[in-house]
Structure 1
Amino acid sequence: MIIFLILIGIVALSTFLILRHPKFGKAPSGERLQRILKSPHYKNGKFDNLNPTPQLAEDTSMPEVLFRFLFGKKENLRPSQKLSFSKTNLKEITTDENVFIWMGHSSYFMQIDGKKILVDPVFSGNASPFSFTTKAFDGTDIYSVDDIPELDYLVITHDHWDHLDYETVKKLQPKVKKVITGLGTGEHLEFWNYDPEKIIELDWHEQSDLGNGYQVYCEPARHFSGRGLKRDQAIWASFVFETPNQRIYIGGDSGYDDHFKKIGEKYGSFDLAILENGQYNKDWRYIHMMPGENIKAMKDLNAKRMIPVHSSKFALATHEWNEPLEKITQFNTENQRIITPKIGEKADYLNDTKIYEQWWEKR
């Protein structure tokens, strides 16, 4: 019994010390917490989705999910050989180009009407608090902070480890003019020495005038948040980035729901929607879109074009690594304009004549 209690004590102390590492961020406090408490989306001590959203589907249980995840059949979770990509030199992109460069999973760089934007960058080689877990597929982690030019906007959609990477955003700090994120996430960034004056922190349905005809709007997503033991203390969000010439939808992580239709009706149409495509499972089908639902979301949004992300770099679910891109191509029976660049490839997303190689089929 004494040995058992000592072991329990060691585990508890180790957990306490680990959670004190700065990478876990900080819970909202002070004026930010007061603002959160006034949010209509913060209820019973946490942020909540617009519609009931169970973490697990009704026809399953946590023990079943854990058993299937740990011991179920899993094939081709990772590429069998190292992937090979060429990276675009972001510092050589001319100011008149409208481009999208995917960096794997949900990290991407955009230049939209002269504004340089980086979304959810994870360049540390893994998507978890521990470097030996959730490692990037060989050959996919080709960008580093050194490759990034000075940024007009760093966008963080929510605070999960595969979207908000401590090591990356700390190194990026000198290059970032402004951060755009959801309410609550700014606490992590301030804790990591970001200037609060540079943080634009929005609740759902709020907006910020960026000047010279540029606007950003924060809209709902159907997901959750959290980096430590307490979840849902910062809101998860999608964003609408509007310029004098374009309207772009940055989807973040989201299960399918009627918010896509409402956003489409609110804004009329989008020149481009970037939507999640991967890390799905029927057991958690409310918080990530299942295959084909992103195409429904694209239609709901009245988006002229879509780029699927959230795949091809980390194995966070049990599907084959290239299944998301195979499925979205298979389900695109109406020939919607779905753009599938390679990691590192410069995509002129407004050029609808460009045909993109189905590169995942050859791996």
Structure 2
Amino acid sequence: MKRFTCGCLLPLFSAVLPTGASAQACESGFSKSPQFAAQDCRFQNRPNPDAKPNRSTWDIWSRFFLESKQGTVPIDPVPVRPMDRAALAALDDASNHIIRLGHSSHLLKLRGKWWLIDPVFGPRASPVSFAGPKRFHPSPVALEDVPPIEGLVLSHDHYDHLDVPTIEALNGRVQRYFVPLGVGQHLRDWGVPADRIEEFDWWQESKWGEVALTAAPAQHFSGRTLTDRNRTLWASWSLRVGGDHVFYSGDSGYFAGFKEIGARLPKIDVALMENGAYDSYWPAVHMSPEETVQAFQDLGAGMLYLVHNSTFDLAFHGWREPLERVAALAKERRIVLATPEIGEVLTIGKPRENRNWWEGLR
């Protein structure tokens, strides 16, 4: 049976419906960015002659509307480890912890201070509440239990990474927002005070408390409506604190930039790498499992931590496939792999036994 999937392309391609965030007019300040093409007022990726071409928008939309999906949504419950306020408070303030909330959303406790990466607590990755990709599982941390946030990091403005209800619910509870160029306008439109927002071009750095941040390149795109494609920048991120170094790829196709990042931001302890929502129809903007592993090795990082899977139905591959393929490659190449359950805490530098939690689930 053919399956109509309203909104499932929203995080991957231009959204079908606008939200309250307005499309930006061309701002002269962006013209200083090497990533900004002033002639059409849009950001762009670096030239990459090795990038595989994406199929046409018509081909992609037609496939989503006409092709049936098999095994993209779990039948059995995805395991979740709930974390309440007491459990969060009990985490050692002297260490650095990463808690997987689902998809690419993470809650971090860095030297006793709380940080969020691409938080999406809403039930759907969509501009509307009644349609679009729906969560496979609840958040392990209830939104009302999220502690005061020192810093919130965003990689780009797609719906599976930037969620309006989440931003509105957290307003007043976040000290500082760290976002790529242009994304700050979305936040300001939704009521976030301008003086709490810091916008970054690639390779710009900042420090907030004990955390040193660097926005790094990625190969992707942006947009939340039919008219604002690439009006804002996308980025990967480096966070260094207390001698530990965390890298987050954001969304990206495979490109030579990973080697440059590894050279310029060395000694990465944990690399949170995109692994999911890939397809032969859009190979330039998301990595296959094999490319995820290669990108990780280009970085020269210590631990490969998989993100961007197990929460939303965004592509045509089976929901377990990204994890299975990378796990097999990691075993073959003797890579230290982290595939934490939803809600699991990973403490940097603390020994852990990785588990293939998806095995046996339908």
Q: Secondary structure at the match of 1:362?
A: coil
Residue 130 (structure 1) aligned with residue 124 (structure 2): no
- Corresponding residue for residue 346 of structure 1: 345
Displacement of 1:361 in angstroms is 1.0
Q: TM-score, normalised by structure 1?
A: 0.87
Further displaced range: 341-350 or 318-327: 341-350
Aligned residue in 1 for 2:107: 109
Structure 2: runs of 5+ lacking an equivalent? 1-16
Q: Counterpart amino acid of 1:46?
A: R
Q: Which runs of structure 2 are paired with 1:2-151 in the superposition (5 Å)?
A: 19=18, 21-22=19-20, 25-28=21-24, 33-43=27-37, 44-52=40-48, 57=53, 60-89=55-84, 90-151=88-149
The answer to whether the Cα contact below 8 Å between 2:101 and 2:342 also exists between their aligned partners in 1 is: yes
Deviation at 1:173, TM superposition (A): 1.4
Flag structure 1 segments of 5+ consecutive residues without an equivalent. Answer: 1-17
1:308-355 Cα shifts (integer Å, max 9, x gaps): 10000101101111111111101211121111110011122422x311
Aligned with 1:239 (options 237, 240, 243): 237
> 1:358 is matched with which residue?
356
CA 1:108 to 1:258, structure 2 compared with 1: closer, same or farther past 3 Å? same
Question: Residue 271 of structure 1: which of 255, 269, 272 is its match?
Answer: 269
- The residue number in structure 2 matching 1:215 is 212
Deviations 1:285-323 (A, max 9, x none): 110001111111111111011211000010110111111
Shift, 1:73, TM fit: 4.6
After TM superposition, give the deviation of residue 142 of structure 1 in Å.
3.9
Q: Aligned pairs, how many?
A: 339
- Output one character per residue of 1:128-172: Cα deviation in whole Å (capped at 9) or x when no partner: 112222343443444332121111111111000000000001101
1: distance between equivalents of 2:270 and 2:142? 26
Give TM-score, length-normalised by structure 2.
0.88
For the 8 Å contact 1:140–1:313, the answer to whether it is kept is: no
- How far, CA to CA, are the matches of 1:181 and 1:143 in structure 2? 23
Contact 1:264 1:302 in 2 (8 A): yes
Decide which moves more: 38-47 or 314-323: 38-47
After TM superposition, what 4+ stretches of structure 1 lie above 6 angstroms from structure 2?
53-56
Report the residue type matching 1:342 in the other structure.
E
Compared CA separation, residues 143 and 125, structure 1 to 2 (3 A): farther
- 1:176-325 matches, within 5 Å, as 176-212=174-210, 214-229=211-226, 230-325=228-323
SS in 2 for 1:153: strand
Rounded Cα–Cα distance in structure 2 between residues aligned with 1:263 and 1:206: 13
Name the SS of the counterpart of 1:121 in structure 2.
coil
| 8 Å contact from structure 1 (residues 79, 137) kept in 2 | no
> Does the Cα contact within 8 Å between 1:53 and 1:286 map onto a contact in 2?
no
Alignment check: 8 A CA contact 1:152 1:178 kept:
yes
Whose helix proportion is higher, 1 or 2? 1
Match of 1:6?
none
Cα deviations by residue, 1:84-137 (Å, 9 ceiling, x for unpaired): 412223344231232111111110111233332111111111001122223434
What is residue 12 of structure 2 aligned with on the other side? none
User: How far did 1:56 drift?
Assistant: 8.0
Between the aligned partners of 1:139 and 1:41, the Cα distance in structure 2 is 37
Q: Letter of the 1:67 partner, please give it.
A: S
The alignment partner of 1:178 has SS state of: strand
